[in-house]
Structure 1
Amino acid sequence: MGYPFTVADVAFLGSAEGRAALSAVAELPLTPDSYLADVGRARAVAGERYAAVLETVLLRRRAGTKLAGAADWLCTDDALQQATATPVAEHRAARLAGRDVHDVTCSIGADLIPLARTARRCLGSDLDPVRLAMARHNAAVAGVAPLLVRADALHPVSRGAVVVADPARRSAGGRRVWRPTDFVPPLDQLAEAHRGADLVVKCAPGIDFAVAPWAGEVELVSLDGQVREASLWSGGLTEPGVRRRASVLRTREPGPDGPHWTLVDAVTDAEPDDCPVRRPGEWLVDPDGAVVRAGLVRQYAARHGLGQLDEHIAYLTGDRPPPGIRAFRVLDHGHYSEKALRGELRRRQVGAVEILVRGLDVDPNALRRRLRPTGPAALSVVLTRIGHRPTMLLCQPERT
């Protein structure tokens, strides 16, 4: 649950005295071995607010890889866990550029700040006075000035704006909840409260999308190969004919104006899905998780001239992989059995083996322990099913 910040804590942390204490404590190692001594040092520089200072320094260290500019942000443990990674938040904000936007669950401002940079007008609200105070601090640090009010997401306080919401998906005890009726606020009540408004709701990528019949589009978003979220977009915010979308983001090296990212692929169900089922070609392609979860493997294959190994399996193959991805050059393939695979690894003197499995009941880690590979070579092994036949593909991964 983390330290229970108060509004007074936030005021102190934003003051000159608080900033000096944060700067001093940020220099401490804060390791398990040094922690007792570090606590004493924090007490000396921050007095009764030492716990808030310590927690803030630790949270800032964790937030650095997730939130751009977080070196000077204020946050709580729970808020940081649910906060949208900056590239994902900026991607969503880009879709709403030029609109009036109301973030009704603005929390510490992870979504609000990118929205404020692209929206015509931007309003943020939250019921939690601590998080609202942190959002005000973080917005000022980021150089934006959205209007901030304390309000319940289920009681609208704006009209004519696109409503953006990120319901909490943890119980009061900190456990993750999966049923949309257990979200805070519940998904169905949120949609009903904002009936008639353009609405965007961030959800976990594993949600059953049937629970949101109002959603005109479901967008799965990945960042650097990891599926981060599903966004539910109401009909007024979608393109004609698009019901499902996969957006694939990649970060780039930071520049002088902060972290950079790019949208490397965006696939929708409005695109052609005519792709053949074919024998393994020169390359094997494992589509990004956002493409798979959005059910857009065939559309992705058709776009890039690939075929499926099996119509029910998400592995694709072809003679030329899409640019900018990690693909697998197929060295050999054949019927899979553990004995046959062990023999191939021994023959090729493979000691480092990556095992990928789809469509077969095989535990890669347990299989690797049983194989006990030895040798100087490295190889990727893809185990899958083609029709009813267990198949192994011996591959060399390459960045295209």
Structure 2
Amino acid sequence: MERAELVELLSPEGLRLLDSLPPYESAADVVRTVSLLRKQGHPAGLVATVLTQSKLRAKAVAKFGPFASRMLFTEAGLEQATRLQVAARHAARYARAGLTRVADLGCGVGGDAMAMAALDLEVTAVEADEVTAAIASYNLAPFPNAGVVNAKAEDIDLAGMDAVYLDPARRTSGHGNTRRLADPSDWSPSLDFAFGLASTLPVGVKLGPGVDRELLPEDAETQWVSVDGQVVEAGVWTGALARDGIRRAALVVHGDSAHELTGSADADDEPAGDLGEFLYEPDGAVIRARLIGDLARGLGARMLRHDIAYLTADTHLATPFAAAFRVLDELPYKESDLRKALAQRGIGTLEIKKRGADVDPAALRKRLQLKGEASGTLVLTRIGSRHVALLVERLG
């Protein structure tokens, strides 16, 4: 979004027009809506801008729920924004630690700042990009205890602040079609700057879940977070924001429920053993946090192989930290024999999971020429030195 487009959108006419639109559903609806709005005399540029916002609001529901319908976004800002249920947990850390004046450096469209302000924290939200800062101001307007500053994070005077939150921009600047930056020194602000603040203030830093673990401070708590099966971030917490005795954590969020596995360090893995009646696939947050060994011990399970993140056990225990499967059969791994085995069972719908197997599940599924009314789940992996194909049943 360009500055001129934002000015037009933020006009009384622009906001009224945006709020009058029906919820975005499909590209076909857009064509009809454009035609209708143009017939009503609205300028072409404004029509394009409000329809883009309508589409972004529809997309944002996955992150912000009903709040999305009263917010504004840029494409890049929405992509990088924290999900509301995760942002609420970020804010709760500051509140529990008694840190009431927070600088949110690199606030983006303001998602985390909104969550903090909702808990009555005083938030100074800082954003270097002018358009994004204006959008954050709009989103934070309902909160008198939050304000937005259009400036670089490095230029902010933190005197009077109790703590800092940072979500460094890890993509090139712009509002769309950005690319990822691999070097932490190129992030805005840089990772060195973010962690450097921890010498004087409690700091929380949101990073991508695949962050190089060598970059993580030894005295900080790092919490990997998954939402509905997708690992979405690694949060690094220092000073009063870090919990005593916890250096590794996996937070698993499903809908309105959340469960956490914590450890004082990376957990030692359990030894590998024979395939049991049950197979467990640990949640991605557990894997990233390297707490698979602690999960295995809690389940009475063992590794299926030392370098593959599957667990196996002879008994089943329900857990929020892993998907569980009953092993029904071991099928031939050779593709032609596997096709016959699936055909004999009448399996026409097949979920394919794989670890330790160089296979494209979509391409394999097509080659298997599946037919039949039955459905199943196939796990392609390795036990010891051999490849195996396991037909399993997902447990609730």
Whether the TM-score (by the shorter chain) exceeds 0.5 is yes
- Which segment is superposed worse, 53-62 or 231-240? 231-240
Counterpart of 1:65, as a letter, is: A
Counterparts of 1:33-182 in structure 2 under 5 Å? 34-35=30-31, 38=34, 41=37, 44=40, 46-47=42-43, 49-68=46-65, 69-97=67-95, 98-100=98-100, 101-118=102-119, 120-141=121-142, 145-159=145-159, 160-172=161-173, 174-182=178-186
Alignment partners' CA distance in 1, 2:53 and 2:295: 43
**Offset of residue 65 of structure 1:** 1.6
Alignment partners' CA distance in 2, 1:235 and 1:303: 30
Deviations along 1:254-295, whole A, 9 cap, x unmatched?
Answer: xxxxxxx22123333459757453322222111111111222
Q: Hey, what does 1:188 align to over in structure 2? A: 192
8 Å CA contact 1:25, 1:57 repeated in 2 = yes
**Structure 2 CA distance for partners of 1:35 and 1:337, relative to 1, 3 Å:** same
**Offset of residue 26 of structure 1:** 3.5
Q: What secondary structure is seen at the aligned counterpart in 2 of 1:280? A: coil
For residue 15 of structure 2, the aligned residue among 19, 25, 30 is 19
**Offset of residue 127 of structure 1:** 2.4
Residue 282 (structure 1) aligned with residue 277 (structure 2): yes
**Offset of residue 10 of structure 1:** 5.4
**Offset of residue 30 of structure 1:** 6.4
8 Å CA contact 2:266, 2:290 repeated in 1 = no
Counterparts of 1:155-304 in structure 2 under 5 Å? 155-159=155-159, 160-172=161-173, 174-192=178-196, 195-213=199-217, 216-251=220-255, 261-270=256-265, 273=268, 275-304=270-299
Counterpart of 1:25, as a letter, is: L
Alignment partners' CA distance in 1, 2:24 and 2:386: 58
8 Å CA contact 2:229, 2:284 repeated in 1 = yes
Q: Give the root-mean-square deviation of aligned CA atoms.
A: 2.8
Counterpart of 1:180, as a letter, is: P
Q: What secondary structure is seen at the aligned counterpart in 1 of 2:365? A: helix
**Offset of residue 357 of structure 1:** 0.9
- Which segment is superposed worse, 90-99 or 192-201? 192-201
Counterpart of 2:318, as a letter, is: P
Deviations along 1:165-221, whole A, 9 cap, x unmatched?
Answer: 111122136122222122122222333356422111111111213234476122211
8 Å CA contact 1:283, 1:328 repeated in 2 = yes
8 Å CA contact 2:269, 2:292 repeated in 1 = no
Residue 31 (structure 1) aligned with residue 32 (structure 2): no
Deviations along 1:213-250, whole A, 9 cap, x unmatched?
Answer: 47612221110000111112225432334322111111
**Offset of residue 303 of structure 1:** 2.2
Q: What secondary structure is seen at the aligned counterpart in 1 of 2:154? A: coil
Counterpart of 1:320, as a letter, is: H
Counterpart of 1:126, as a letter, is: E
Q: Hey, what does 2:312 align to over in structure 1? A: 317
**Structure 2 CA distance for partners of 1:155 and 1:212, relative to 1, 3 Å:** farther
Alignment partners' CA distance in 2, 1:139 and 1:210: 36
**Offset of residue 40 of structure 1:** 5.9
Counterpart of 1:302, as a letter, is: R
Q: Hey, what does 2:349 align to over in structure 1? A: 352
**Offset of residue 349 of structure 1:** 1.7
Alignment partners' CA distance in 2, 1:63 and 1:345: 40
Q: Once the two structures are aligned, what percentage of the paired residues are identical?
A: 35
Moved over 6 A (4+): 27-30
Alignment partners' CA distance in 2, 1:305 and 1:125: 48
Structure 2 gap ranges (5+): none
Structure 1 gap ranges (5+): 252-260
- Which segment is superposed worse, 54-63 or 44-53? 44-53
- Which segment is superposed worse, 372-381 or 2-11? 2-11
